[in-house]
Structure 1
Amino acid sequence: MRVWLACFFVLFALAKLFDWVQELSLPLPIYILGGAFLAVASNYDKIVGSNFSDAISEAQLEQPQLNASSIEKVNT
């Protein structure tokens, strides 16, 4: 019974929220700013991720690569 009651209240709240959103009217600049925000947010990993991957690859190129023969030379 509790599940049915909880589902009823959740669906009722969603229906009222949907009605309220349909009546909401925003000016055009808000839509433009919202679209710009969504574009930046959806491409954030491409913008910032490329900078991090470039820095990591540069750091790996600067460090000498160790292999088994160079480790044996150091130990002897």
Structure 2
Amino acid sequence: MKVWLACFLVLFALAELFDWLQEFNLPLPIYILGGAFLAVASNYDKIIGYYFADSSIEASLEQPQLDSLTPSSNPISFPVTSSVEDVQTSQTDD
């Protein structure tokens, strides 16, 4: 019974709040300022974070350190099994 009463009171309060908010109007400049505030608040860490960033993080970003200073012995290129001329001659022979 207590759960039913609590749910009824919560739903009644929400319905009354919704009715009150439907009659509540704000002028357009308030909506514009509110949107600008939300944009700044959502990007606060991107805007303000650059000014107060840790200098050690900035130094590591400017001078990246490689794991090994010697070049790898593995070749980057792949061996070609047949040349273009061989493929063209085999196609003309067919």
Calculate the TM-score normalised by the size of structure 2.
Answer: 0.54
| Corresponding pairs, count | 61
Q: Name the amino acid aligned to 2:19.
A: D
Q: Determine if the alignment matches structure 1 residue 33 to structure 2 residue 28.
A: no
Alpha-carbon spacing, 1:24–1:60, altered in 2? closer, same or farther (3 Å): same
Alpha-carbon spacing, 1:54–1:4, altered in 2? closer, same or farther (3 Å): same
The equivalent of 1:15 in structure 2 is 15
Calculate the TM-score normalised by the size of structure 1.
Answer: 0.65
Aligned-pair identity (%):
77
After superposition, the CA RMSD in angstroms is 2.2
Name the SS for the 1:11 alignment partner. helix
Structure 2: where are the runs of 5+ without partners? 62-94
Structure 1: where are the runs of 5+ without partners? 62-76
* Higher percent of residues as helix: 1
Residues 16-56 of structure 1: CA distance to partner in whole angstroms, max 9, x if unpaired?
A: 11111111111111111111111111111211233343534
List structure 1 segments (4+ residues) > 6 angstroms apart after TM superposition. Answer: none
Q: Which has the larger radius of gyration?
A: 2
